[in-house]
Amino acid sequence: MRSAGAFDGGDARILLIAPDRCLAKRVSQQTTQLHVRVAEPDKFKMGKATIGPLDDEGSAERFDFIVHNNYLDTVSMATVDAVSALDTMLQPGGWHLFTLPIKGGTIEELDADSSEHERREAFGRHDRFRTFGRDDTKQLLQELWGSQSVLFPLARRYSEADLYRHGLDARQLSRVHSNAVFAWQARA
């Protein structure tokens, strides 16, 4: 988020979806406009953040940044519909940044009405509906966003020395994998 300018100057409106507490706490220290959506809002306390329930249908609210980590595999609606709903919540010029659990080359998906047992058998957890494949996911997002570039350009934002110091490989940052940051910026 810092690389995309989330904490530069003004107070960006940031939406974190189902975040780890440590991420939410760190972001809450950087902005006064933090909004968090979680499954059980009454159990998630975070100082000055606005906490609300998850809503698969999107919202009329608009944000400068929407960030989530391994969230789309838990959403029962189709991936394209879920990403599109979140994209409509962006301010002009806003960023949608996220990671996905990547496994193999193709997307594996169960129907929304699959049982918890079926989901546990397929994905090892009852609250998952899909795993994302390296090849299919990139193509799906390229078609949805109308862009060949679907990854956040981290390697272009840091010097080789910085990448080396943090143990990052510039070639790996340009490939789809479980630590890749997918990114789309709404038209300004």
Q: What predicted TM-score, i.e. pTM, was given to this entire model?
A: 0.84
pLDDT tens digits for 128-142? 677 788 888 999 999
* CATH topology classification for 14-185: Rossmann fold (3.40.50)
Sign of torsion, CA 73 74 78 83? negative
pLDDT tens digits for 95-114? 999 998 888 777 677 677 77
Among 127, 15, 20, 117, smallest CA distance to 64 is for 15
Q: Which residues, 6 or more positions from 76, have their beta carbon under 8 angstroms from its beta carbon?
A: 56, 112, 129
Is the per-residue pLDDT at 175 higher than 80? yes
- Compute φ and ψ for 81, nearest 5 degrees: -65, -40
Highest mean pLDDT among 7-16, 34-43, 51-60, 84-93: 84-93
- What pLDDT does residue 110 have? 66
